[in-house]
Amino acid sequence: MTAPPTASRGVTTNDHAPRRLHDETKPAFKTTEFIAYVAAVLGVLIASLVVDGNGNGDNGATGDFFRADRAWLYVVMLTIGYMVSRGLAKAGSRSARNA
């Protein structure tokens, strides 16, 4: 004879069915998209520091070709893209802690 199903927090489980206790998505810092995001942000900021308009290596003494305000605009756009990608990754997933 099998044991009757038990109720836990409104969810009916059977003794033979395994219960999922983990999240569907990884924490953000463990994903490749986070690593790519950090690399892209560093690349934009380093490029803004290094690139000058005249090509002689004086770091833009006669005029900055890739200004800081443009670099930070790109960082903001990268951040928005990263946040949207994480939101899509977590869309529809349920955390065991929130069940």
Residue type, 4: P
Please give the chain's pLDDT, 99 residues, in tens: 555 555 555 555 556 666 656 556 677 777 788 889 999 999 999 888 888 665 555 555 666 678 888 989 999 999 999 999 888 877 766 655 555
Model-wide pTM > 0.85: no
pLDDT of residue 43: 93
pLDDT of residue 23: 58
pLDDT of residue 68: 84
Distance CA 93, CA 25 (A): 7
Backbone angles phi, psi at 90, to 5 degrees: -95, -5
8 A C-beta contact, residue 63 and residue 14: no
